A and B are shown apart, each in its own frame.
Chain A
């Protein structure tokens, strides 16, 4: 992995990040080299803790410092409602909107044959497990409003058809092409209120 030159190595590592090309990586490395001396150790330590301290919640699949996550562990959250999202960032986005008092389920992706992702690659089995004991009355599918998110939602609807649970799809109050992570809190809140019941 290392080819000797620490600057080149650092550029190479940073380039692996999404949205970072050769130019940006180089700029970041030289910026870091001139930043206050504690900057690099602080960043390294924070990144290191991501490896050692972040857990996946065994219930909902969300990422955080504890398992189960604070939302799953919070008795004030409505256990009858589950909001299904693609990514952990989406949970954060919903929490910012303050509209949702139920719990979440994170799929860690969406069905996309182009990327080689099928239903088996998603965090689906634990979701079915959560629906078994009858506590959950409504599932809100809040996958992204794009072709892949839509495919995932349809797939889920079919899967849950026979379970006898209300399934609703987040109304597209957010503009098409916007990922949930980037949708603002107000439009997310509105989308939640306008969710459409599709089965159950």
Chain B
């Protein structure tokens, strides 16, 4: 899929814009603090209906306003769709082809994105929750229905937490919640492990290509071990049963996939403790590329978003990466302070956007047709394929 047109209003520091983005590489360049990351975040937000990890929905809205809108036109295997998301305070409204979205997987089937940003180093270096979040995000990108699994588990866990906090929980209700937790947890773990099995060979290949050496090991550590969902559920039930007294005494949930971890090893050593900054970055990038390669193997074409590339990789690796991405044939969004860093890009299929003070300026060889006034035209259907005008 490709994002062929992007409109945003009152989004962070960005001036209202309407950009034709039908290009394989979209390179956003400019000095620091101009809005490059914000533009990529607009794309990410459209694809996931969420801000970049660690940011709050509220922060997406231009200071002093109370609503932000991002609209995108996507060309995919099954034709075109118009996606739109409106943020107002804590509320979020998504629509697909002008209709409010009732079935989120249907929306997410139209648009997928994988991102690599400087803060992603935390996936490797920080607490297990960051690795679980990466894995759940990756599983969601692969199969949007994963969202329901995560939600079910988290909601059940929240119910159990509320019950335990009480101090003298109703045993019948606790039994029921543990039963639900075992089932939801087993399904969650099975999905995570299945995805990890799919990704690991690609992580190793991508890492070898980027680093030129080093053996990557990946292990999923869980309370719910087993070969299939029923076995994992049975195992979880056992452990929950065994932990019952302690959980009630400490008023906390001690057993379940919310405590799982993905152990990452480099030549047998935990990267979290021993990895250098460079090793960490290379590994994270390999993990993200693995998602992309696996998606391509599945027949999907998610967009790949690379934020602040120049600060992340040296020139050599950057060029190798750009080459790899070119071969994968997906739409790539790159933000950088130094576009020369990237090396040769397919000229005809590259859009360069200069970013100054929140105003994106497309720089292209051929003239760009002016878009309709974004203040009144954004709810309209696609006004023809503007990319064919060039």
Give chain A's interface residues, CB within 8 Å of chain B. 111-114, 118-119, 146-148, 150-151, 154-155, 158-159, 175-177
User: Is B373 located at the chain interface by the 8 A CB criterion?
Assistant: no
The closest CB in chain B to the CB of A116 belongs to B162
The closest CB in chain A to the CB of B157 belongs to A147
Q: Is the CB of B170 within 8 A of A119?
A: yes
Interface centre among A112, A147, A148, A158 (most CB of B within 10 A): A147
Closest 4 CB pairs of A and B: A113-B162, A113-B163, A147-B155, A154-B176
CA distance A146 to B151 in the complex (A): 10
Chain A residues lying within 8 Å of B170, measured Cβ to Cβ, are 118-119
User: Is B103 located at the chain interface by the 8 A CB criterion?
Assistant: yes
Q: Looking at the complex, which one of A119, A151, A159, A175 makes contact with B177 (CB distance below 8 Å)?
A: A151
Interface centre among B103, B159, B169, B179 (most CB of A within 10 A): B159
Q: Is the CB of B156 within 8 A of A113?
A: no
User: Is B120 located at the chain interface by the 8 A CB criterion?
Assistant: no
Distance in Å: Cβ of B304 to nearest Cβ of chain A: 30
Q: Is the CB of A175 within 8 A of B179?
A: no
The closest CB in chain A to the CB of B145 belongs to A176
Q: Is the CB of B158 within 8 A of A158?
A: no
Distance in Å: Cβ of B240 to nearest Cβ of chain A: 14
27 contacts between A and B (CB under 8 A): A111-B173, A111-B176, A112-B159, A113-B160, A113-B163, A113-B166, A113-B169, A113-B177, A114-B159, A119-B170, A119-B173, A146-B155, A147-B156, A150-B180, A151-B173, A151-B176, A151-B177, A151-B180, A154-B179, A154-B180, A155-B172, A155-B173, A155-B176, A158-B175, A158-B176, A159-B172, A177-B148
The closest CB in chain B to the CB of A176 belongs to B148
Q: Is the CB of A151 within 8 A of B159?
A: yes
CA distance A157 to B162 in the complex (A): 23
User: Is B15 located at the chain interface by the 8 A CB criterion?
Assistant: no
Distance in Å: Cβ of B289 to nearest Cβ of chain A: 33
Distance in Å: Cβ of A184 to nearest Cβ of chain B: 12
Excluding A114-B162, A175-B103, 12 further A-B contacts by CB distance (< 8 Å) are: A111-B173, A112-B159, A114-B159, A119-B172, A147-B152, A151-B173, A151-B180, A154-B176, A155-B172, A158-B172, A159-B172, A177-B148
CA distance A47 to B279 in the complex (A): 68
Chain A residues lying within 8 Å of B173, measured Cβ to Cβ, are 111, 113, 118-119, 151, 155
CA distance A154 to B152 in the complex (A): 15
Chain A residues lying within 8 Å of B159, measured Cβ to Cβ, are 112-114, 147-148, 151
CA distance A175 to B104 in the complex (A): 11
Distance in Å: Cβ of A179 to nearest Cβ of chain B: 12
CA distance A150 to B153 in the complex (A): 12
CA distance A176 to B105 in the complex (A): 12
Distance in Å: Cβ of A115 to nearest Cβ of chain B: 8
Distance in Å: Cβ of B93 to nearest Cβ of chain A: 14
Interface centre among B148, B169, B170, B173 (most CB of A within 10 A): B173
Chain B residues lying within 8 Å of A154, measured Cβ to Cβ, are 176, 179-180
CA distance A150 to B175 in the complex (A): 13
The closest CB in chain A to the CB of B184 belongs to A147
Interface centre among B159, B176, B177, B180 (most CB of A within 10 A): B176
Chain B residues lying within 8 Å of A155, measured Cβ to Cβ, are 172-173, 176
Q: Looking at the complex, which one of B152, B158, B175, B179 makes contact with A114 (CB distance below 8 Å)?
A: B158
Chain B residues lying within 8 Å of A150, measured Cβ to Cβ, are 180
The closest CB in chain B to the CB of A154 belongs to B176
Distance in Å: Cβ of B285 to nearest Cβ of chain A: 35
Report B157-196 CB contacts with A as 1/0, cut-off 8 Å: 0111011001001101101110110000000000000000
Chain A residues lying within 8 Å of B179, measured Cβ to Cβ, are 154
Distance in Å: Cβ of A135 to nearest Cβ of chain B: 26
Report B128-166 CB contacts with A as 1/0, cut-off 8 Å: 000000000000000000001000100110111011001
CA distance A119 to B175 in the complex (A): 13
CA distance A148 to B177 in the complex (A): 9
Interface centre among A113, A146, A150, A176 (most CB of B within 10 A): A113
Distance in Å: Cβ of B12 to nearest Cβ of chain A: 25
Distance in Å: Cβ of B124 to nearest Cβ of chain A: 32
Chain B residues lying within 8 Å of A113, measured Cβ to Cβ, are 159-160, 162-163, 166, 169, 173, 177
Interface centre among A111, A119, A148 (most CB of B within 10 A): A111
CA distance A155 to B156 in the complex (A): 14
Chain B residues lying within 8 Å of A119, measured Cβ to Cβ, are 170, 172-173
CA distance A16 to B374 in the complex (A): 37
Among residues 254 to 290 in chain B, which have CB atoms less than 8 Å away from a CB atom of chain A?
none
Distance in Å: Cβ of A158 to nearest Cβ of chain B: 7
CA distance A147 to B173 in the complex (A): 13
Distance in Å: Cβ of A154 to nearest Cβ of chain B: 4
Distance in Å: Cβ of A61 to nearest Cβ of chain B: 20
CA distance A147 to B153 in the complex (A): 9
Chain B residues lying within 8 Å of A114, measured Cβ to Cβ, are 158-159, 162
CA distance A147 to B180 in the complex (A): 8
Among residues 171 to 223 in chain B, which have CB atoms less than 8 Å away from a CB atom of chain A?
172-173, 175-177, 179-180
Chain B residues lying within 8 Å of A146, measured Cβ to Cβ, are 155
The closest CB in chain B to the CB of A146 belongs to B155
CA distance A12 to B381 in the complex (A): 40
CA distance A153 to B159 in the complex (A): 15
Distance in Å: Cβ of A9 to nearest Cβ of chain B: 26
CA distance A150 to B173 in the complex (A): 12
CA distance A118 to B171 in the complex (A): 11
